[in-house]
Amino acid sequence: MTDRRKDRPLDGYEVVLAVTGGIACYKSADLASKLVQAGAGATVAMTAAAARFVQPLTFQAITERQVYTSMWARTEDFRTEHIALTDLADLLIVAPATANVIGKFAAGIADDLVSALALSAGTACPILLAPAMNSRMWSAPAVRANIKLLKDWGFHFVGPEEGRLACGTTGPGRMSQPADILAAAKAILLKKPPRKGK
């Protein structure tokens, strides 16, 4: 393995990072940076709620790529975003994965860009979810059932961790640290060569 490969183990891999509206999405900027530093091509898609926490410009500056926020727009080559963005993706990461978006994935709802991406990526590439929510939401029967269903369908999960939550309580529900999400992404990606064949 060359030194460059050690420093940039994800060279040639394409990752779509989907960011949803939870306070943990500030960590997603760090995750995007870590993906780029590892050599991955990182394209960011955001829900409208996520853009209330972190501006798309932040991700654009980190990835040096267009950030996608609407499924009604088109990519630069005029293809429909929720299909085009997963065409060459080796992995779709959803971080944070809120209870809301997990429920949408489990129900097959595709009413925003991120949920549409997950539905279109289903057979195109693996999906890694990094849940983040209040402990009571994490323990709710509906959320537990949705997570079991998604795991049965082959979705990958990292976290959540235990710790202090945004509401001030302590318990499970903290989004995993970006370094841990990156490690989980590497474990999935490095099992096979990039789809683009670089």
| Partners of 174 in the β-ladder | 161
The SS3 of residue 105 is: helix
The SS3 of residue 192 is: coil
Known active-site residue 25: no
Count how many Cα atoms sit within 13 Å of the Cα of residue 184 in the half-sphere of its side chain. Answer: 22
> Do the Cβ atoms of 69 and 46 come closer than 8 Å?
yes
What is the Cα 175 distance to its own chain's centre? 12
Which sign does the torsion angle of CA 97, 102, 105, 108 carry? negative
Determine which one of 61, 73, 142, 167 is catalytic.
167
Location of structure tokens 């870590």: 34
Strands 14-19 and 41-46: parallel
Nearest-angstrom CA–CA distance, 176 and 169:
17
Q: Looking at the annotation, which residues are catalytic?
A: 167
